[in-house]
Structure 1
Amino acid sequence: MQPAENPQSDIPGMGSAPRRKHRQGLHRTQIACERCRARKNKCDGKNPSCGTCQRAGAECIITDRLTYQQLPRSHVDDMKAQVQALQEENDALKAQISFLQQQKQHDLGAAVEEAPKPQGKGAATVCGRELAADIGLLSLEGTSERKYVGESSGVYFGKIVGAILPGEAKSLPAAAQLTNPLRFGLGRRDVQKPVNVPREPPPRPILLPNTEMANRLQEAFFSHRWPSLPFLHRPTFLKKHFESVLRDGINADGASLFLTHMVFAIGAIDLRRKNGKLPITPLDYFKTATSFYLSVLFENGNLETIQGLLLLSTFAISEPHALNAWMVSGLAMRSAIELGLHRHVESGSLFQSEMRKRVFWAAYVLDRNISITLGRPLSIQDKDIDVELPLSLSDIDLLPEDNSPGHGRSGPLLPSDLSTFIHIIKLRQFGSRIQSVFYPTKTAGLDTKLVSSERDIFRAELENWIVSAPRYTLPTPAVFQSIEWFQIAYNHALLLLYRPSPACPETTTHSLRICSDASISLIILYLTLYSKNKFAYTWVSLHSLFVATVTMLYTLTRQEIRATTTKNVTESNINSSLSLLQNMADVWPEAAGRCHQVIERLGGLILALFDAHLSSEEPQDNANLLNINQEESFGEIIQNSLDWFGIRQQSCVVTPQPEISGLISGSQFDHHPQQFLQDNSLGVQYNMDEMMDLDGLLEFGFDMSLPLMTDAFDSNNLFANDSRPNQ
């Protein structure tokens, strides 16, 4: 049977009629980029950049027709390359896991065949011992070890402050431990992991920022951080690392990817302070750098490795959830020593010689700053260093192809030279000498009068340092190049020099006045920086602010110091410190918050002295207490103070100051502390049951357990319980 003919087969364009072919020479129109569209230019649509944008050196941006989202023209190609690279990495990891599993099963089977079978009770005992050993090992892994903090951190002075304040021992609730914080290749085994906490998914690499944002981030880093730590040569970094990463993406060198992402991370911290929230957080850049490219950096073992460690240390000081700044800075210094950067080396290349100096002295500055703050031993002694200070050359004046001998620049100081960095090096050298003289581990046999006389020598050097501090005629955004920062460093050194120390435990009215003025100046200078939006929210700044405020309150326990001020002025200074701590809580929520509570309570106790009018009611014998010898001055502590601060076993015992002693020594305080405080007109009503123990105040979210003044009140002399996990 013949098939029926299609009645429409003869109609043109219907049925089996051939489809119209596309004319040769015509192509589908490519999406014009935004730059060509705005200029009404013809866009050739080439990848990764059209010809017009490529000639202009601009980024080629197109708008997606469906989502109307603006993306780089090479966005799809970059994503495909990233997916392919991740797929290859995933396949390699799967193959490695499979191989290790097979090898483990093979080794386990061989061990089972060779091992003798246990028999009877003896075998059960052996198995029980092995199980007990395993349980003991697990117990050790879940135990929080106690970390050493030294005297220059404020431990010694903290004992004195703790001894003169009344109250009942009631600790604040333990701070909530951070779960699953980042690790820096040095996994801690002493942390008890919380139960039933979902595991954080593994980090994934973030997309690189567009060219505009990338330039803003690197500009922020070199404008704000480079003047104080110029361990990166900007032209070299931009040409060798930055541009290659933007051009090649994840296919760039691993060291370049790490250095660039860490520069982005630190620059994002400064941009966040200036402009608020950013689309990608500093922690995102940090996670990408440490999770995917850190191993490549360590494989190199060269100058770039130390530069990467210095970037990590810089980031850790400013970011509460990053890593252990003390350990990383120590690793950077030891790596520098391994390469011999601490020794003078004759080199024909000015660039290579100067970069070695810059990297070493940057590691030196970070090591001194962190170690003295924590009161821990320095990574290297000054006597073991013979390398010269770097020349005060800007990066433009120091080029890789320049082999001529350098002499440093002359003329007016510029924000782009090394004058700030060199001055900071001298400050850290000064601080290390103070620590060795006034905060030694062993004080037996020390001549207190001789050590005290050395203060005058140190003071003269410190005055010369502040007088010769750089002054810049051109505006600079870096806080380290501001007059306020140099004044802060000067006053902080004064506190380190004049507050009670193991080598000089005695306090005089003269030294207390210096400490009082320096601490008040520190608070006001920090407030000035905050008003200019230049305040650095680092844990070193938080330590400095807290120490200054506690020192100010301590000096006000003396009638001679209180006579120089008024209650209103003191209350204003306390409120200034509290406002700064409140703002710092945005970055360090728990640490700054608990510091705020401590200062608020101690401030209330000190303000009560102005209302009590004890100066006119004190017995005349109290005046003689100021001049008694060291053994009598540091002999006995009131039991209430011991109970509150938990320092009954401390090696340093201090007698309360006369005014405080008169306030708390009566039986009325011993039996009815709350009623006593109400009768003595405290400015704020305090519940003594809520007075906190300062032990371990900052054992959370900080680098190790940043001791500040507070770890002095721990009952296990000089050791602070570190509850921060996974450092």
Structure 2
Amino acid sequence: MPEEGDGTYSAIANGVGFLSLRAAAEPYFVGSTSGFHLARMVHLMLSSSFSTLARQSMDFASPNTSLLTSNWEAIESAKIAQDPPQHIADELVALYFSRIHLRYPLIDWVAFRRTYKRKHELEPSRRSDRMRLFVLHMVYAMGARILELNFRREYDVSPESHYATALQYLDASLEIHGVENVQALLLLSLFSLRASESLGTLGGWHVLGLAMRVCTELGLHRKVHYGMAKQCDPYLMEIRKRNFWSAYLLDRSLCITLGRPFAIAEHDIDAELPLDIDEGEDDAEIVQDTHQQQFAERGPLTSAAPQPTNLSSFVHMCRLRRIESGIQHDIYGADVNIKYLVGHRYEVIDKYISKLDSWFDTIPYKESITSRGKSDKTVYDCFEYSQICYSKTMRLLLQPRIAALSTPCDYDPYIVVCAKACGDICKYYKIIHQAHPLSYNLLALHSVFTAGTTLLYCVWIYRDLLKQSVMNDVRACSNVLFVIAERWPAAEQYRDAYEVLASHMQDMFYSDKQEINKLSLPADNVGYDFSRNILSIQQGATGINDVEFWTMYNNLVAENWSDFISTQPSHNWVNQQAPSDQVVPQQANVFQS
């Protein structure tokens, strides 16, 4: 513990008490309304995405006072970022707006523009300005991360430095029990998912859970009654809705990726969707009139507005995530017997296919990214992005049923639909990247890798799928995984595992030999033992079954997933177990878990 005279500690420790620091290996804090206490919890969750050195110096297995203070010391010892030159700052803000804000419009961008114009007048001694400085440096940090992931080195700007600077102002945002609290937590979670040291640290999931709980405390998940709505500024009401639905989108995406329950159940939500209106429109009368048109006159819109806005994609994605939530409950619920998906749940699957088709028929943007040339539109404003989202949900819907089929199998329409969806994910990711280089994170890696392996399995169990177009999709997946691995070194093991599966598939179908005695990765891939029996299959193509496919899959992937999880903070102090217990045993179908 620092000495009482230590200026750093005494300045923030005034009025802070610790209760039963070691009880049940969990720290409990006194004074839940203090932003300082919540800030410390957040820092514990996010430490791995901040500093490799700080993470290595911490012992998450023994939470105590020194752990808490050493975390603060690591943050405060980081190099503080100065405001970048104007042309660099403009670039960082523009990148955040086009790549992140229009997908998760949680910031009041009208207020942010005012702050940005007077950023040199901000005083850290004022709490309101500390909140603005936190948001400003988080925007800089994520813009700098996008530059870094796209190998743009022309600007000397460090995302970690701006992140560290933002954390110094975090307490001001968390002291206010309001939508500012949600914004701060969501910004931290978004940055954590883009951390360069690991593929989306699990700390982002913990912080996102806090954000969803604050949303619930504030009642953002419930519809605002007419009487209360009349007393509130219509634009600020939209900011509240955008914050909740941004948290909702992120929660659904991350929980589906990690295979964990949602932070809030679908039946507990009756909040209105945000208006399909340009995000910078703050005129109260226009917002009110738009609300009357989109809600009051004919009920909530189930499709995009006649004239797309820069929030049309966001609002339409909210509708898709609600469909995914239903799929998660009806197809992946703990009380669902997967065996019945083979022959007894056609009506459920067909119901969701119909919903997905209706959603896709009403997408707001139908123009291809390859035909529009350079414009001010973002990657989310194109046909390919909508196609990827549609196909990802289709794969989510059909995957358990496909995985439950035996091999080889007769024609099944769901196999064909699933294979096309998986192929489209890989193909359109490649098309988008060629036209508009993307910055990748854990969610993108999961989407591409799972689509590729599911496509291989569809071909494995139904050989009539093997056509040139399908093999092109297999190669597209390989190309995208190589691009991701260039930006995220920890993704190399998934790229390599997929290459083994894809190479084995090609050898099995295209080689004149009936035996495959040896498979190998490129010479520069070391550290993996691929000499297991599964990679020396002594059967012909017709003799290989689904058990062997999943044994190969698990041998290549499960061990690497365990290695990846072991690099994440364990957070024993919140009694949270890492998902290594979800690794599927050998000879088990990983998609049935």
TM-score normalised according to structure 2 size = 0.71
Structure 2 distance, partners of 1:232, 1:97, is 28
> Aligned partner of 1:597: which letter?
D
Larger Rg computed on CA atoms = 1
1:238 to 113, 120, 123: 113
Deviation of 1:695 (Å) = 2.6
Tell me which of 319, 334, 337 is aligned to 2:213. 334
The secondary structure found in structure 2 opposite 1:481 is: coil
Distance 1:179 1:342 in 2: 36
Deviations 1:299-344 (A, max 9, x none): 1221111111111222222224375221122111111111111112
Q: Which residue of 2 aligns with 1:469?
A: 363
Q: State percent identity of aligned pairs.
A: 26
Q: How does 1:669-708 map to 2 (within 5 A)?
A: 692=556, 694-697=558-561, 699-700=563-564
The 5 A counterparts of 1:622-701 are 662-663=543-544, 692=556, 694-697=558-561, 699-700=563-564
Inter-partner Cα distance in structure 2 for 1:597 and 1:503: 22
Partner of 2:350: 456
Q: Find the counterpart in structure 2 of residue 288 from structure 1.
A: 165
1:217-366 paired onto structure 2 within 5 Å: 217-239=92-114, 241-248=115-122, 250-251=124-125, 253-272=129-148, 276-277=152-153, 278-290=155-167, 292-321=168-197, 323=201, 324-345=203-224, 346-348=228-230, 349-366=233-250
Structure 1, residues 190-225: CA drift from partner, whole Å, max 9, x if none? 79xxxxxxx978213211113332222222222222
> 2: distance between equivalents of 1:541 and 1:711?
20
The separation in 1 between residues aligned to 2:359 and 2:53, in whole angstroms, is 44
Please report the RMSD computed on the Cα atoms of aligned residues, expressed in angstroms.
4.4
Matching residue's letter, 1:384 = D
Matched, 1:565 2:470: no
Q: Does 1:208 align with 2:83?
A: yes
CA 1:537–1:96: 2 relative to 1, 3 Å: closer
Deviation at 1:643, TM superposition (A): 8.2
> Structure 1 residues 254 and 90, CA, compared in 2 at 3 Å: closer, same or farther?
farther
The alpha carbon displacement at 1:181 in A equals 5.4
Match of 1:483 in 2: 383
Aligned counterparts of 1:315 and 1:570: Cα–Cα separation in 2: 35
Q: Indicate conservation of the 8 Å contact 2:141/2:158, yes or no.
A: yes
* Matched residue, 2:53: 180
Pairing of 1:68-217 with structure 2 (within 5 A)? 92-93=7-8, 179-180=52-53, 188-189=60-61, 202-217=77-92
Aligned counterparts of 1:187 and 1:715: Cα–Cα separation in 2? 35
Report the CA distance between 1:411 and its aligned residue: 7.5
Change over 3 Å in CA distance of 1:477–1:180 after alignment to 2: farther
Deviation at 1:462, TM superposition (A): 0.5
Deviation at residue 716 of structure 1 after TM alignment: 12
Change (3 A) 1:550 1:362: same
The SS at the match of 1:276 is coil
- The one of 311, 316, 320 equivalent to 1:423 is 316
Q: Which moved more, 1:259-268 or 1:211-220?
A: 211-220
Question: Equivalent residue for 2:485?
Answer: 585
Change (3 A) 1:214 1:451: same
User: CA deviation digits over 1:5-51, x for unaligned, max 9?
Assistant: xxxxxxxxxxxxxxxxxxxxxxxxxxxxxxxxxxxxxxxxxxxxxxx
> Structure 1 511/659 Cα, relative in aligned 2: closer, same or farther at 3 Å?
farther
State whether residues 25 and 62 of structure 2, in contact with CA within 8 Å, keep that contact through their aligned partners in structure 1: no
* Matching residue within 707, 712, 716 for 2:584: 712
Q: 1:535 to 1:236 in 2, by over 3 A?
A: same
Q: CA deviation at 1:613?
A: 6.7
After superposition, give the CA deviation of every residue in 1:477-501 in whole Å (9 maximum; x if it has no partner): 4222221111111111111111225
- 1:455–1:497: 8 Å Cα contact kept in structure 2? yes
- Provide the secondary structure at the position in 2 that maps to 1:438: helix
Structure-1 separation of matches of 2:346 and 2:325: 17
Cα distance change of structure 1 residues 447 and 295 upon mapping to structure 2, 3 Å threshold? same
Aligned with residue 329 of structure 2, among 399, 424, 436: 436
Whether the 8 Å CA contact 1:438–1:451 is kept in 2: the answer is no
Structure 1: gaps of 5 or more residues? 1-88, 105-132, 139-177, 192-198, 616-639, 646-655, 670-687, 719-727
- Give 1:376-455 correspondences, 5 Å limit: 376-399=260-283, 404-407=288-291, 413-416=307-310, 418-443=311-336, 448=341, 449-455=343-349
Is the Cα–Cα contact under 8 Å of residues 306 and 332 in structure 1 kept in the other structure? yes
- Name the CA distance, whole Å, in 1 between partners of 2:59 and 2:186: 20
CA distance 1:713–1:446, change in 2 (3 Å): closer
Structure 2 residue matching 1:594: 3-state secondary structure: helix
Distance 1:399 1:557, change over 3 A: same
8 Å CA contact 2:425, 2:451 repeated in 1: yes
Seen in structure 2, the aligned counterparts of structure 1 residues 476 and 578 have a Cα distance that, compared at 3 Å, is same
- Partner amino acid, structure 2, of 1:454: V
Return the offset for 1:367.
Answer: 0.5
Q: Deviations over 1:597-646 (max 9, x none)?
A: 1112112221222146799xxxxxxxxxxxxxxxxxxxxxxxx999869x
C-alpha spacing 1:223/1:246, structure 2 compared with 1 (3 Å): farther
Superposed CA deviations along residues 649-677 of structure 1, whole A, max 9, x for unmatched, are: xxxxxxx9x96572599xxx9xxxxxxxx
C-alpha spacing 1:545/1:400, structure 2 compared with 1 (3 Å): same
Q: Considering Cα pairs closer than 8 Å and 6+ residues apart, tell me whether 1 or 2 has the greater RCO.
A: 1
Distance (Å, rounded) in 1 between the aligned partners of 2:12 and 2:182: 32
Change (3 A) 1:429 1:228: same
CA contact (8 A) 1:415 1:476 kept: no
In structure 1, what residue type is equivalent to 2:219? G
Q: Deviations over 1:344-399 (max 9, x none)?
A: 22322212221111111111111111111111101111111111111112233224
What is the letter of the counterpart of residue 108 of structure 2? H
Number of aligned pairs? 487
8 Å contact 2:183–2:243 — kept in the other structure?
yes
The AA in structure 1 aligned to 2:53 is N
2:276 match: secondary structure: coil
Task: Classify 1:586/1:389 alpha carbon distance in 2 versus 1 (closer, same or farther; 3 Å).
Answer: same
Q: How does 1:7-22 map to 2 (within 5 A)?
A: none
Contact 2:174 2:180 in 1 (8 A): no
CA distance in structure 1 between the partners assigned to 2:420 and 2:344 by the alignment? 25
Pick which of 251-260 and 503-512 moved more: 503-512
Q: Which amino acid aligns with 2:543?
A: G
- 1:261-300: per-residue Cα shift (whole Å, max 9, x none)? 111112223344567023112222112212x112222112
Q: Is the 8 A contact 2:474 2:502 kept in 1?
A: yes
The question of whether the paired residues in 2 share the 8 Å contact of 1:333 and 1:379 is answered with yes
1:188–1:250 CA distance, 2 compared to 1 (3 A)? same
Structure 2: unaligned runs, 5 residues or longer: 27-50, 64-72, 295-303, 515-529, 571-577
* Distance 1:188-1:338 versus aligned 2 partners, 3 A rule: farther
Q: TM-score, normalised by structure 1?
A: 0.59
